[in-house]
Structure 1
Amino acid sequence: MGRSSETVGPVGAGPDLVVGADGCARPPWATANEMVRAYYDTEWGMPVRTEQGVFERLSLEGFQAGLSWATILTKRAAFRRAFHDFDVDRVAQMGEEDIQRLLSDAAIIRHRGKIAATVTNARIAQRMRTEGTDIAEHIWSFQPALTYAPRTLAEIPTQDETSRALSRDLKGRGFRFVGPTTVFALMEAIGLVDTHLVGSHRRGASGLFGADGSRR
């Protein structure tokens, strides 16, 4: 009998992991299509420490609210064109005319609140830099001492104490679309926490946490 392209993982892989034809175990969401799989295999959970990189992820997580991440990935190139590759200074210069223009751009998510929030957030990030830190450094200052070691998807929280604290901080600075669930998703995406399931071939790939979950 030929091997199926995807099967539920063998003993030890965990009940919520899918093993592909390449023998690698991934969570179901990472097997939606080749684009999502590549994102999971090469990018999700890897450390992102640049201002531009963190601002992009923060913005995309805000746009993702209420939608699937696959939808955001499909439109990612268009988002980059629309928001000048998420260069903080260039986005901060965008005004009402730009917002109106993007509301007619079917290649992105045409949500006025989210588009306007991206511009507002860029201006705040720009101001933070004049105060002695950039948004990436500030967010990374919230990195917890321990990460998670989930064996099932149910063991992964949608928010936690750190994301709630970071959300409060960002909201206090005026950032928008930075609720604790959105912030936790950001923390996962940029490697601030490792929520790869135990048994996933990406578990520990960031190199930031040891086998016991403690920060290196």
Structure 2
Amino acid sequence: MCSRCPWAETSLMMQEYHDKEWGIVHTDDTYLFEMLTLEGAQAGLSWQIILNKRQAYRDAFHHFDVAVCARLTNQEIEEIRLNHSVVKHKLKLYSVRSNAQSFQNIQREFGSFSTYIWSFSPPIKNNWQSPTEVPSQTALSSIISKDLKQRGFKFIGPTIVYSFMQAIGMVNDHLLTCDFRNCTSV
């Protein structure tokens, strides 16, 4: 049996996410857009709720094809809100389109969103012994959040950005006792 970070023991879905994605370096722009979208949707909710709805988000938002999401009409977003099992928060749903547009602007400027986001820091590996030591935000997540907001992103505060950083492996916050601590790339 594997030793995991305690938060991952709540369900098989959380275990799979923890074991195969969280804290592992990701550089694919589609995956980065997916995680940015899901982390924004999670604001005020549990990650378990979002993982339960992940496939619905993939279906609704064309597997996070950023070009398609950037062109969504108001009517299409309303249809998503009414007909898909996503978080129904209107502003969060509309932010997918505006964030996709901002994401594309970054891709044009930097060549990829990955190049942009990874320019802030190489992967950071923390040495936490207890879940209570893991911060909800850092000075770096505040800097990135501020930059993203200036570029037009929504639902992108420092706490959301820190969760995003954990999701894409920019920050590895697996506890010292976690067997998955040294899994660093996909």
Per the TM superposition, whether the score is higher than 0.5 is yes
The residue number in structure 1 matching 2:174 is 196
**Contact 1:30 1:36 (C-alpha < 8 Å) held by counterparts:** yes
Residue in 2 that maps onto 1:151: 129
Count of residue correspondences: 186
Q: Percent identity?
A: 39
CA distance in 2, matches of 1:105, 1:160: 37
Q: Bigger radius of gyration, 1 or 2?
A: 1
Contact 2:99 2:152 in 1 (8 A): yes
Q: Deviations over 1:171-216 (max 9, x none)?
A: 0101001100000000011100110000100112116xxxxxxxxx
Map 1:77-156 → 2, pairs under 5 A: 77-144=55-122, 146-156=124-134
- Once superposed, what is the RMSD of the aligned Cα atoms? 1.5
Q: 1:48 to 1:75 in 2, by over 3 A?
A: same
Partner AA of 1:61 in structure 2: E
CA contact (8 A) 1:117 1:176 kept: yes
CA distance in 2, matches of 1:143, 1:83: 29
Aligned to 2:28: 50
Report deviation, 1:106. Answer: 4.6
Which residue in the other structure is 2:39 paired with? Answer: 61
Task: Give the number of the structure with larger relative contact order, counting CA–CA contacts within 8 Å between residues 6 or more apart.
Answer: 2
Q: TM-score, normalised by structure 2?
A: 0.95
Structure 2 residues without counterparts, runs of 5 or longer: none
Letter aligned with residue 155 of structure 1: E
Question: What's 1:210 paired with?
Answer: none
Aligned to 1:214: none
How many Å separate the matches in 2 of 1:163 and 1:42? 23
1:171–1:143: structure 2 CA closer, same or farther, 3 Å change rule?
same
